[in-house]
Every structure is written in structure tokens, then in C-alpha cells.
Structure 1
Amino acid sequence: MDFAKGHGTGNDFVIVPDLADERPLAAADVAALCDRRLGVGGDGLLRIVPSSEPGAKWFMDYRNADGSIAEMCGNGVRVFARYLLERGLADGPEIPVATRGGVKNVTVVGDELSVAMGPAALGPTSQASVEGFTWPGQAVSMGNPHLVCQLSDAEELEALELFHQPRYDTGVFPDGVNVEFVVGAAPHVRMRVHERGVGETFSCGTGACAVAAVALRRAGAETGTCKVDVPGGTLTVTVTDETIHLAGPAVIVAEGTARTQGVAGPQASA
């Protein structure tokens, strides 16, 4: 199968164009392709298939690296749009993309891509625990679940072990949760994230939106712009009364073909 590899601030994806929707991928296929040693490697997979949504030609079939289905991915939809642009499958500056979280409109802004993610829905307070330490957090839905935990300083953030899933309240998050740990205050914060079904990633677009919404509210503002530093770079999040705009780089770094080799995973050639 043909594939491409792209990333948004280090949040990387395997892109599989299936323009006639002829090759659905099982969870094991996705996991094999996303394997960093035996496959192409990625935090997730973006399969491009025709959309049935009015006004959107393409649907983003997004999967986590373990093959599980996810509702939405902010960096993923921007990388998806970048691929459509570079392959002549869409024209700018506005690119509607159908997702499991609804149709998202991606806009070309210079060298960056910005996407209207919809509003943040704040839920109850909860908590997350890592290696015996527990922090209070704010539940936020961006079409997918997040728990935003404020830490005291950068040293505390850097010391976190996020290879393993933080402990969380399954009563609040029955389908799992992406957990963001944050330092700083709006209009400029820094975060690390553990994504459900993936592990720690260099960036999380929906997570950055959730973090910015909480940071602005902590600063006494319902709207505004917040820079969010992630390990892979910086995202700009603008919260309005109607939606949240996520802006940042999205690049395609490689293209090739992959052959599935059963349990040994796919072999790739560029």
C-alpha cells in the first residue's frame, strides 16, 4: 500500500490514501504500520476516504497507534489537509475535512494551517496520579476527552514519567482520557501529554486547545489567544465565543510503499 509520513509539531502520523474506500484497515494492521521498530512508525494513522458529509469531499479515518478508534485529532486534521493540498486533492485556502467529531474547516495561513476545532466543553474536576503523586485536574471535551492538570513548576513537569498511562477516575472517563500536565499561565503555557492508546507524544492538538481554554479561564478570560509550548514546538490557540482555532506547522516528510508481513509487521521502502 502507498503511504506518506507527516507531523504537526512532532505529533507524527502514517497517512494511507484509500481514495476509493477499498481497503479498510483492521486494528492489528494499524498497530503494525504505526510500530516504530517493525513498521513505518507514528502516533496514529490517517486513512483518506471519500466523505458522505455535505460540503466535505474527504473523511479522516483516524486511528490511535494501538489501532483503536479516536473521535478527533487536531494535529492530525492539519496534517491530513496538508497532504490533500500537496497531492492536489483539495484547494485552499479553506479545506473542509469530515471527521468523527464533525466537519472541521482547515485554513491555510502562510506556512501554517489553522483549524476551527469547535468549542471546549468543561466537565467536572477530577484528578490524575503518576508514580504515587496526585494532581487535581479539569475535565475538558474537545470532541474527545481530556484532563488538564496544573503543576507548580517546570522541574516538576520535566520529572514526570509519562511512558505509562496516568491513573484517572474511570467513573468520570469511562472511555479513557488524554492527560495534559501544564506549567505557566495564559497567554503562554507549556505542557506534556499522555495520549490514550498511544503514550506520551511530542504534541496533541486537541490537548493544546483544552489546555488553552483552561489557562485563559484561570486568568479570568473567556476568550483570547494562548501560546502552548509542546516538546515538538509551539501551537497558537485562539478561543472565541463560537470556537477554538488551532494553528501551527504541518509537514509531509516522506512517501513510500508498505507490505504487510503478518505478525512481523509491515516492511516499508521510501
Structure 2
Amino acid sequence: MHFAKGHGTGNDFVIVPDLADERPLAPADVAALCDRRFGIGGDGLLRVAPSSEPGTKWFMDYRNADGSIAEMCGNGVRVFARYLLEQGLADGPEIPVATRGGVKHVRLEGDQFSVDMGPATFGPTSQAGLEGFEWPGQAVSMGNPHLVCHLGETDELDALDLHRQPRFDPAVFPDGVNVEFVVGTAPHVRMRVHERGVGETFSCGTGACAVAAVALRRAGSDTGTCEVDVPGGTLTVTVADETIHLAGPAAIVAEGTARL
């Protein structure tokens, strides 16, 4: 099968075109392709499939690296749009993409892509646990679940071992959760994230949106712009009254043929 490899601020994806919707991938196939030693390697897989959603041509079939289904991926949808443009499958500057989290409108702005991610929905307060420690956190949905935990010191953030899934309350998050750890105050914060079904990643677009929404609220405002530093770069999140816009880079770095 043909594939491409792309990333958004270091959050990397295997991209598989299935333009006639002839080859849905089993979870084991996705895991094999995303394996960093025995496959191509990626935090997730983007299958390009035809869309049945009115006003859209392509559906982003996104899977986590372990093959599990995820509702949405903010970095992935920007990489998906970059791939569509480079392959001549879409015209710019605005590209509607069907996802499990609804239709996302991606816009090319200079050398970056901006995505209308929809609003953040705040849930209950909860907590995350790691290595015998517990941190309070705020549940936020960006179409997928997040738990945003604000830490006190940068050194505390740097010392975290995120190879393992942090503990969380399954009653609050029955389908698992992406856990973000944050330092700083709006309009500029820094985060690390453990993504469900993947592990620690260099970036998480939906996570950055959740973090910015929480950081702005902590600073006394429900709207505004927040720069979010992730290990792979910086994302710009603009929180408006009814939606959130995520802006950042997206690049295709390789193409080739893979065997399963």
C-alpha cells in the first residue's frame, strides 16, 4: 500500500490513501504500521477515505497508534489537510474535513494551518495520579476527553515520567482520557501530554485547545489567545465565545510503499 508520513509540531502520523474506500484497516494493521521499530512509526494513522457528510469530500479516519479509534486529532487534521493539498485532492485556502468529531474547517494561512475546532466543554473537576502523587485537574471535552492538570513549577513538569498512563477516575472518563500537565499562566503556557492509546507525544492539538481554555479561565477570561509550548514546538490557540481556533504547522516528510 502507498503511504505518506507527516507531522504537526512533532506529533507524527502515517497517512494511508484509500480513495475508493476499499481497504479499511484492522486495529492490528494500524498498530503494525505505527510501530517505530517494525513498521513506519507514528503516534497515529490517518486513512484518507471518501466522505458521506454533505459539503465534504474526504473523511479523516483517525486511529491511535494501538489501533483504537479516536474522535478527533487537532494536529492530525492539519496534516491531513496538508496531504490533500499536496496530492491535488483539495483546493485551498479552506478545506472542510469530515471527522468523527464533526466537520472541521481547515484554512491555510501562510505556512501554517488554522482549524475551527468547535467549543471546549468543561466537565467536572477530577484528578490524575502518577508515581504516588496526585494532582487536581479539570475535565474538558474537545470532542475527545481531556484532563488538564496545572502544576506549580517547571521543574515538576520536566521530571514527570509519562511513559505510563496516569491514573484517572474511570467513572468520569469511561473511555479513557488524554492527560495534560501544564505550567505557566495565560497568555503563554507550557504542557506535556500522555495520549490514551499512544503514550507521551511531542504535541496534542486538541489537548492544547483544552489547556488554553483552562489557562484563560484561570487568568479570569473565557476568551483570548494563548500560546501553548509543546515539546515539538508552539501552537497558537484562540478561544472565542462559541469556538476555538488552533493554528500551527503541518508537514509531509516522506512517501513510499509499505507491506503488511
Return the TM-score normalized by structure 1. 0.96
**In 2, Cα distance between the equivalents of 1:221 and 1:90?**
37
* Residue in structure 1 matched with residue 87 of structure 2 by the alignment: 87
1:1-270 alignment to 2 at 5 Å? 1-260=1-260
- Amino acid paired to 2:95: I
| SS, match of residue 46 in structure 2 | strand
Give the deviation of 1:122 after TM superposition.
0.2
Measured against aligned partners, the alpha-carbon deviations of 1:217-258 in whole angstroms (never above 9, x if no partner) come to 000011000000000000000000121000000000000000
- Amino acid paired to 1:87: Q
| SS, match of residue 118 in structure 2 | coil
**In 2, Cα distance between the equivalents of 1:102 and 1:12?**
22
Give the deviation of 1:197 after TM superposition.
0.1
**In 1, Cα distance between the equivalents of 2:242 and 2:227?**
19
Q: Which runs of 4+ in 1 moved over 3 A?
A: none
- Amino acid paired to 2:176: G
Measured against aligned partners, the alpha-carbon deviations of 1:92-115 in whole angstroms (never above 9, x if no partner) come to 111000000000000001000000
Structure 1 vs Structure 2: percent identity of aligned residues? 85
Name structure 1 gaps, 5 residues minimum: 261-270
Give the deviation of 1:155 after TM superposition.
0.2
| SS, match of residue 139 in structure 1 | strand
Over aligned residues, Cα RMSD in angstroms? 0.3
Give the deviation of 1:22 after TM superposition.
0.3
Give the deviation of 1:86 after TM superposition.
0.4
| SS, match of residue 157 in structure 2 | helix
Give the deviation of 1:144 after TM superposition.
0.2
Give the deviation of 1:203 after TM superposition.
0.1
Measured against aligned partners, the alpha-carbon deviations of 1:114-153 in whole angstroms (never above 9, x if no partner) come to 0000000000000001100100000000000000000001
**In 2, Cα distance between the equivalents of 1:170 and 1:54?**
35
Measured against aligned partners, the alpha-carbon deviations of 1:52-78 in whole angstroms (never above 9, x if no partner) come to 000110000000000000000000000
**In 1, Cα distance between the equivalents of 2:82 and 2:153?**
35
**In 2, Cα distance between the equivalents of 1:114 and 1:187?**
18
Q: How many residues align?
A: 260
